[in-house]
Amino acid sequence: MEMSLLEKISESCWQIPAHGTMRVPVIIYGSEKIIQQMDQKVAEQASNVASLPGIVKASFVMPDAHWGYGFPIGGVAAFDPDQDGVISAGGVGFDISCGVRTLLTGLQEKDIEPIKNKLADLLFKEIPAGVGSHGKIHLDKNEMDKMLVGGAKWAIEQGYGEEEDLQRIEEGGCMPGADPQAVSNLAKERQAKEMGTLGSGNHYAEVQVVGKIFDEAIAKLLSIHEGDIVVSIHCGSRGLGHQIGTDYLKEMVVCAQKLKIELPERELACAPIQSDLGKRYLGAMRAGINCALANRQILTHLIRKVFSNFFPNISMPLLYDVSHNTCKVEEHSINGGSKKLFVHRKGATRAFGPGHREIPEDLKEAGQPVLIGGSMGTHSYILVGTTQSERLAFSSAVHGAGRAMSRSKALKEWKGKEIIKSLEAKGILIRAVSERGVAEEAPLAYKDVSDVVEAAHKAELAKLIARLDPLICIKG
């Protein structure tokens, strides 16, 4: 990104002042090094977002931002429904409620070392992953609608998990206001065989060891200690979310054309929150969130079953589940008052600070866990929301590394087989459907997640608690 465009506010905060059609400034968080590495398109897209009706305070850019569709990935924008605010399908993304969840195991690395290969093989066998994989759960229309309303709560009612899991999921595992009638039959048909599937691309299920603790007191509150084994899942709302994105993006684009609304990018298309289209999208998007929560819950069940095969008495409680492609109605402080806003987080994680009412009682003192997935073979991180995050970016933080190289270039640079071999030499077992897919997901094709997390920590968007090192990675 061209630094001359930016005004420096602090070492970790930069601004593009409002100009032209922009209603608010763009605020970018990150070190100078990180921002220099961002695409110029990020500044352009964040400025476009700043020009949308009803936007409040600023168009925020997280340290892991990159070029997206309409909104930058790593973008946060809040809209006021009373000021003609809008909701945007592009501001949520195709993979609605894509997110990360982490499970505790009570195991140490020495416990899994003797069975590591067998564990990797069984996880790969039991977790449907990649193109052409289908789950064992097929939903009819009636059950599909129940799932879209119930989310992870529905999944637990079907026997996929424990009641206690719900306390550790945003919105208690069930997003209110979901409207299955606003979800097309195409979307439902696409999802019918995809419940409990991982997907592909940067999605994964990973067995990790807690490699380093940065804050002992908070780590203790989260029940994590150095050397502990945890399991993390990164995936979203699968075909249903993709189809909702496809359907509503087009409807919003066509609507903008009909109303002769000039958009700098068609994917910036949006609808007033109070409009029929806005309300329908909101109902469908919330159903997409529930689909993602149910999907991660079923995957959790599959993973628990695999682990219990090796450790019959194992208990694998949920540490937390976060979504990073959403639009949620939240109360935030504006001009000394409190206001309900529609907060779009596109590739950004909610990061409520300590004491927030949405955080479960036993974690309130710590702040909301912020789970940051790395790329294949690299570290992941656990952070928590800070008190300052509310003031900085409506309680939002980073979501992951973000690509540094296109898939085509990665494919030219690396061979999947060599990557698998070199990671195995480091003690990291990869199980993947496609060697080409592995090459496209090469660790170095992504930005250094450690830099991104450090930038978020320094900017006080979230506080760094623990580093997770990969041991087994299941890829689609």
Partner 1 sequence: MNIDKQPTTSYRWETFSHMADIGIRGFGNSPEEALIAVSLALISVITDPQKVSPTSSVSITCQDDSYDLLLYDWLNCLIFKIATENMLFSAFEVELRLPFLRGTAWGEIIDREKHTPAVEVKGATFTELFFGQNDNQWIAQCVVDV
Determine if 36 is a binding residue for partner 1 (CB under 8 A). no
Determine if 39 is a binding residue for partner 1 (CB under 8 A). yes
CA dist 166 and 406 (Å) reads 37
Residue selected from 23, 266, 332, 415 as contacting partner 1 according to rule CB under 8 A: 266
Neighbours of 356 (CB within 10 A): 19
Of 39 and 226, the one with the shorter C-beta distance to partner 1 is: 39
Closest CB 136 distance from partner 1, rounded Å? 15
Determine if 194 is a binding residue for partner 1 (CB under 8 A). yes
Of 325 and 395, the one with the shorter C-beta distance to partner 1 is: 325
CA dist 105 and 101 (Å) reads 13
Q: What are 64's two structure tokens?
A: 């892991």
CA dist 237 and 294 (Å) reads 9
Residue selected from 23, 339, 409, 458 as contacting partner 1 according to rule CB under 8 A: 409
Residue selected from 143, 215, 390, 435 as contacting partner 1 according to rule CB under 8 A: 435
Residue selected from 358, 436, 451, 458 as contacting partner 1 according to rule CB under 8 A: 436
Q: How many residues line the site for partner 1 (CB under 8 A)? A: 49
Determine if 69 is a binding residue for partner 1 (CB under 8 A). yes
Residue selected from 3, 9, 217, 254 as contacting partner 1 according to rule CB under 8 A: 254
The string of DSSP codes covering 102-126 is EEEEEEEHHHHGGGHHHHHHHHHHH
Determine if 376 is a binding residue for partner 1 (CB under 8 A). no
Closest CB 230 distance from partner 1, rounded Å? 26
Closest CB 375 distance from partner 1, rounded Å? 12
Q: Kindly identify the residues of this chain, within the stretch 232-251, that bind partner 1 according to CB under 8 A.
A: 239, 242-243, 245-246, 249-250
Determine if 158 is a binding residue for partner 1 (CB under 8 A). no
Determine if 135 is a binding residue for partner 1 (CB under 8 A). no
CA dist 314 and 310 (Å) reads 9
Residue selected from 121, 215, 226, 265 as contacting partner 1 according to rule CB under 8 A: 265
CA dist 157 and 198 (Å) reads 21
Of 228 and 440, the one with the shorter C-beta distance to partner 1 is: 440
Determine if 74 is a binding residue for partner 1 (CB under 8 A). no
Of 115 and 405, the one with the shorter C-beta distance to partner 1 is: 405
Determine if 185 is a binding residue for partner 1 (CB under 8 A). no
Determine if 437 is a binding residue for partner 1 (CB under 8 A). yes
Determine if 199 is a binding residue for partner 1 (CB under 8 A). yes
Determine if 373 is a binding residue for partner 1 (CB under 8 A). no
For residues 244-256, one letter each, b for 16 or more C-beta atoms within 10 angstroms of the residue's C-beta and e for the rest, the string is bbbbbbebbbebb
Determine if 278 is a binding residue for partner 1 (CB under 8 A). no
CA dist 196 and 214 (Å) reads 34
Of the candidate spans 51-59, 131-139, 141-149, 386-394, the one that interacts with partner 1 by CB under 8 A turns out to be 131-139
CA dist 397 and 43 (Å) reads 18
User: Is 138 annotated in the active site?
Assistant: no
DSSP-derived 3-state class of residue 173 = helix
Q: What are 251's two structure tokens?
A: 């409807």
Of 192 and 273, the one with the shorter C-beta distance to partner 1 is: 192
Q: Using the structure block, give the residue that is written with the tokens 């991982």.
A: 198
Determine if 162 is a binding residue for partner 1 (CB under 8 A). no
Q: Which whole-number Å values give the CA distances from 243 to 93, 177, 288, in the listed order?
A: 11, 19, 10
CA dist 473 and 124 (Å) reads 9
Determine if 63 is a binding residue for partner 1 (CB under 8 A). no
For residues 271-299, one letter each, b for 16 or more C-beta atoms within 10 angstroms of the residue's C-beta and e for the rest, the string is bbbeeebbbbbbbbbbbbbbbbbbbbbbb
Determine if 143 is a binding residue for partner 1 (CB under 8 A). no
Residue selected from 101, 153, 168, 190 as contacting partner 1 according to rule CB under 8 A: 190
DSSP-derived 3-state class of residue 415 = coil
DSSP-derived 3-state class of residue 197 = coil
Residue among 242, 301, 399, 457 flagged as catalytic = 399
Q: What are 345's two structure tokens?
A: 């987080």
Residue selected from 403, 431, 463, 467 as contacting partner 1 according to rule CB under 8 A: 403
Q: Strands 462-475, 429-432: parallel, antiparallel or unpaired by DSSP?
A: parallel
Return the sign of the alpha-carbon dihedral for residues 40, 47, 25, 73.
Answer: negative
Q: Strands 462-475, 204-213: parallel, antiparallel or unpaired by DSSP?
A: antiparallel
Residue selected from 19, 408, 425, 426 as contacting partner 1 according to rule CB under 8 A: 408
Residues forming the site for partner 1 (CB under 8 A):
39, 66-69, 73, 94-95, 130-134, 186, 189-190, 192-194, 199-201, 239, 242-243, 245-246, 249-250, 253-254, 265-267, 402-403, 405-409, 412, 433-437, 440, 476
**Residues with a known catalytic role:** 399
